[in-house]
Amino acid sequence: MEDHRTPVAAIQVWYHVGSKDDPEGRSGFAHLFEHMMFKGTKRMPSEFVDRLTEDVGGENNAYTSNDVTVYHEVVPSNHLERLLWAEAERLSALTVNRTNFMTERDVVKEEFRQSVLSQPYGEFGEFIQKKSFVEHPYRRPTIGNIAELDASSFEEVLAFHTTFYRPDNATLVVVGDFESDALNRWIDLYFGPIKKPDGEVPRVKIKEPARTADKTIREHDDKVPFPALGVTFLAPPVKSEQRAAWEIIETVLGHGDSSRLYRSLVYEKQLAQSVEFYADLREDLGLPTCQLVLSSGVAVEEARAALLAEFERISRESITDRELNRARNQLLAQKLRDRETAAGKAEALGAAAVLLGDPSLVNRELAELEMVTADQVLAAARECFTDSNRVVVEYLPTLKKK
């Protein structure tokens, strides 16, 4: 997408591989390759992407999710060709050897220690993820874990790279100050020679069975100072026609201090010191999730009853016109702000192309939000927030022995 308003270019490469594609018993492989891709090739030294971006006033980074791994850069537009060469180079000729594997595996393990093990509630979210799925590989945490990373072999990692890091599993998005004819020449020059391997990219075909009964799971952790609650439901995938309704539900229930959950549980009843809710619609299915940490002295049963009452309320009666308009305006404003930048446009285009299967769907997103009704929101909530579709996690401090 050409955009000549500022002299910058955003480059993103979306690989259709995420943590759900990790081999069984080897969680963290997709995340590991997010790190490995910043190593070198025979023609490109390690961390060279940093030199091509940060040294000219740009930026680069990457992230791994359940469904995709995305590499993104923003640079002055006169450096665009160099970044296209670099992305093609690491797609076609990444140095995957034992030394790089062991170095980056240690980096990922240290990231796990810092972001999960060293945080009081760091393992809470991981535990919710594991217990929310019975069959689907979404149960594997994206970051991985130390035991499975330690058990992995170089041969397994090499096979993962060969399987998923290939041109027919990559989507290139470029937005910014360039001429399309020049861009197409560069893409033909650098990406054109990369050969497509034989065979198809494997896709996850496992279906998560429908939940049939309310389930409560209790876990104790000696790091947590106060009890915490997690609640999850299974919901439609991100391609669902309910997508806009779920954005409204997420905003009404969990966006900011004026949201229903914060206002009720934290401000009015003072049962919780923090509360989060996110719809989390993924490629294969959604996992609406709520997490809250209780206030001091509050009984788990009392907080649980108040929390579940809010889900029952939004699935029983329509949200008000005021709530609908406020949520819609917040979402539209945020999306318009995001799309003011080349990187924001590229992110929206990439998500539509890879997760929705059609980049042109990006042009319908705002209109769908403008047209969503309170009845559609009620229907989506009523379908999802049922007792039989619910898993509750009670995450409690370890009892002290007297």
> Residues 91-120: pLDDT tens digits?
999 999 999 999 999 999 999 999 999 999
Report the pLDDT value the prediction gives residue 401, as an integer from 0 to 100. 61
Per-residue model confidence (pLDDT) at position 399: 75
Quick one: 152 and 293 in the same domain? no
Considering the domain architecture, whether residues 55 and 184 belong to the same structural domain is answered as yes
182 and 247 inside one domain: no
Per-residue pLDDT, 268 = 96
How many whole angstroms separate alpha carbon 293 and alpha carbon 393? 12
> Is residue 372 in a domain?
yes
Reported as a pLDDT band with limits 50, 70 and 90, residue 280 is very high
Residues 246 and 327 in one domain: yes
Which domain range does residue 223 map to?
A: 215-397
The residue from 157, 190, 223 where one domain ends is 190
**Of 131, 157, 190, which residue sits at a domain end?**
190
Judge if 130 and 261 occupy the same domain.
no
Of the pLDDT bands very low, low, confident and very high (cuts 50, 70, 90), residue 194 is very high
For the segment 141-158, what is each residue's pLDDT rounded down to a tens digit? 899 889 999 999 999 999
Do 250 and 135 share a domain, yes or no? Answer: no
Q: Which amino acid is at 105?
A: R
Same domain, residue pair 174 and 261: no
Whole-prediction pTM value?
A: 0.94
Residue 124 resides in a domain: yes
Q: Do residues 81 and 226 both lie within one domain?
A: no
The last residue of a domain, from among 173, 190, 207: 190
* Close Cβ partners of 103 (under 8 Å, ≥ 6 residues apart): none
Q: Is residue 102 part of a domain?
A: yes
DSSP string, 268-294: IS--EEEEEEE--B-SS-B--EEEEEE
Residue 402 has pLDDT above 60, yes or no: no
Q: Which pLDDT score, from 0 to 100, does residue 400 have?
A: 67
CB-based contacts of 129, cutoff 8 Å, min separation 6: 138, 139, 140, 141
pLDDT higher than threshold 80 for residue 355: yes
Q: Which of 155, 29, 164 is nearest to 91 (CA)?
A: 164
Residue 287 resides in a domain: yes
CATH number at residue 48: 3.30.830.10
What domain count does the chain have?
2
Query: Are 37 and 185 part of one and the same domain?
Result: yes
Residue 197 lies in a domain: no
Q: Which amino acid is at 289?
A: T
Which helix (H) or strand (E) covers residue 310, if one does? Answer: helix 300-314
Whether the Cβ atoms of residue 374 and residue 324 lie closer than 8 Å to each other: yes
- CA distance linking residue 170 with residue 12, whole number of Å: 10
Whether residue 198 lies inside any domain: the answer is no
Q: Does 268 fall in a domain?
A: yes
Same domain, 89 and 14: yes
225 and 116 in a common domain: no
Residue 202 lies in a domain: no
Same domain, 221 and 177: no
